Structure 1
Amino acid sequence: MIRHIVLFRARRPDDVEAIRSGLDRLREIPDAAHLEVALNGRQDAWSSEIDVVVYGEFRDAAALEAYKAHPLYHEAIRLVRPLRDLRIAADYQAPTD
């Protein structure tokens, strides 16, 4: 399983909800085994620069690529890109027990 984590910071505080809402459409893409879009609940000095978190689980690299190729993914990018100041993404293979 591949875990996909993306962190976003809004250009302006007023844009945070629009970013969350735009990214929430990603949950409609069927290729993710699990997908969450949430506001950052941690508000300390080290994490206040992140506003929205996307967390996804994909069965394999092909499922992640299919997710990124989906039209809703491209629509979310089109909506969110002008509102964000920062985007950090990481994908990693989940350990198997």
Structure 2
Amino acid sequence: MTTRPALRHVVFFSAKDKADIPRIVEGLELLAGIPDSCRFEVRRNTQNDALSSEVDVIVYAEFDSAASLAAYKAHPLYEASIKAVRPLRNMRIAADF
């Protein structure tokens, strides 16, 4: 049996301009410098699903607790990432489970 993290955090982004996707990825990769997650990934959507192409970039992170996620969001790099990415994106949808 595998051990499941206490909390998984998934965020989907769409770019206003597809040419900005590399800059969005770069801005989101700043989050990797935050020590509170036990796993962190930023990936471009492969868009292999013919019925859905709205999502361009995904952030996936795992946390040991809700407190760890709160600390992650309070970190200065989180704000830096927001400043870099918000002007370039249309959609942002987050889910925690």
Query: Paired residues, what number?
Result: 92
- Picking from 63, 68, 71, the partner of 1:63 is 68
- Tell me the distance in 1 between the aligned counterparts of 2:69 and 2:35: 11
What's the CA shift string for 1:46-71, capped at 9, x where partnerless? 23110000000000000000000000
Identity of aligned residues (%): 53
- Tell me the distance in 2 between the aligned counterparts of 1:43 and 1:74: 31
- Picking from 27, 39, 48, the partner of 2:44 is 39
> Who is 1:29 aligned against?
34
> Who is 1:9 aligned against?
14
What's the CA shift string for 1:24-83, capped at 9, x where partnerless? 110110000000000001333323110000000000000000000000000000110000
- Tell me the distance in 1 between the aligned counterparts of 2:52 and 2:9: 19
2:15 partner letter: A
- Picking from 82, 86, 92, the partner of 2:91 is 86
Residue aligned with 2:86, SS: helix
Where does the alignment leave 5 or more consecutive residues of structure 1 unmatched? 93-97
- Tell me the distance in 2 between the aligned counterparts of 1:15 and 1:45: 22
> Who is 2:24 aligned against?
19
Residue aligned with 2:54, SS: coil
> What is the Cα-based RMSD across aligned positions, in Å?
0.8
